[in-house]
Amino acid sequence: MDDAAYGTRDKRGFWSPNKRIANAPIFYFPPQPAAILKWLFGVPGYLMPWNLFLFAVTLGVWFFLTPSVETMRTLTADWIALVFLRNTGLTFLLYGAFHLRLYMRRAQATSFKYNPRWLDTDRSAFLFSSQTIDNMIWTFASGVPIWTAYEVLVLWAFANGYVPWLAFAEHPLGFIALMLAIPMVREFHFYAIHRAIHWPPLYRSVHKLHHYNANPGPWSSLAMHPVEHILYFSGALIHLIIPSHPLHAIFHLHHAGLGAMVGHIGFDKIVVGEDSGLDTGAFAHYLHHRYFEVNYADGAIPLDRWFGTFHDGSPEADAAMKERRRKGAAKDSQRDG
């Protein structure tokens, strides 16, 4: 595939898609039923490929790699270790597969890569001066353990009947509706905690670590401070309150833990043939890493439009961002004066 047919590369080599970022059509007015159906069932769309893939992984995990309800009633090291090793293995396989293909083998070179540079190997901001090693350390030393801790807590609560259980056989429509809603719930929660950790004191002490990855790759996804991991995975606690099923909770955590990779992959398409590629939808979050103060959400819900921080990659959005920065600098100057 020729990325020049799908986007443009500026003088510095940064690639941008011709197609601008658009919010989910369920927020359009007047309603557009055809657009909604295309968004739900088309490729790329809300379900396919990524959410359906993550749900398929979750099904396999629930049926084959999750202890029985009877076992989970008691907190014991054996089943907790199983959940931890399962999450570690899934992260290593998924993140590692995309890193191997795109960044080690460089199978499609910089075609569809937003930033023409490769990952840093000699930057002092990273542990051992290596972006990849640094990212992997934060992922496995903090990210996966905290993800697992939330999962163990929620599964233990379900097993002991502390959570209202939503069974598919009794409430099939409610079961499916909640599963479909989880990515949206996740985005709303992500936006809320993301804006909070951009508050200067929290940014400097916590979130700055993640933003060292101005040019993110797959392993950048969970390269966060432990405090950010605690906040990031806390969305799963909603399943301690609302009627749901362990499958919903595991999918919720997989969407956060494994799904984070999609937004940090660094490429707009994964080329799979001469004329075909898999869309990542990563441009919105890539722009956040590049400009820091835009696109706090992932783009489906128009939260950034509503709160004035949306950037769709266009020159007009660039100009609006620079104007916001100018006004912000002027206010700071007046306050300091």
pLDDT at 333 over 70: no
**pLDDT tens, residue by residue, 149-177:** 999 999 999 999 999 999 999 999 999 99
With 90 as the cut, is the pLDDT of residue 245 above it? yes
Q: How far apart are CA 220 and CA 117, in angstroms?
A: 15
* Average pLDDT for 1-19: 95
Question: Would you say residue 108 has pLDDT above 90?
Answer: yes
| pLDDT at 336 (0 to 100) | 62
* Predicted local confidence at residue 335, as pLDDT: 67
Axis crossing angle, helix 77-99 with helix 246-257, rounded to the nearest 10: 40
332 vs 326: which has the higher pLDDT: 326
Q: How many CA atoms lie within 13 A of 319 on its CB side?
A: 3
Top pLDDT among 318 and 65 is at: 65
> Residue 275: which pLDDT band, with cuts at 50, 70 and 90?
confident
Contacts 24+ apart (CB under 8 A), 57-61: 57/90, 57/254, 57/258, 58/247, 58/250, 58/251, 58/254, 59/247, 61/86, 61/90, 61/250, 61/254
pLDDT beyond 70 at 224: yes
Split at pLDDT 50, 70, 90, the class of 232 is very high
pLDDT band at 330; cut points 50, 70, 90:
confident
d(Cα 101, Cα 128) in Å, to the nearest integer? 23
Domain boundaries, the chain: 44-295
Over 70: is that where the pLDDT of 194 sits? yes
Integer Cα distance of 200 and 204 in angstroms: 6
Residues 217, 264: contact at Cβ < 8 Å? Answer: yes
Instruction: Name the token pair of 99.
Output: 């890193």
- Written as six digits, the tokens of 281 are 């939808």
pLDDT at 299: 86
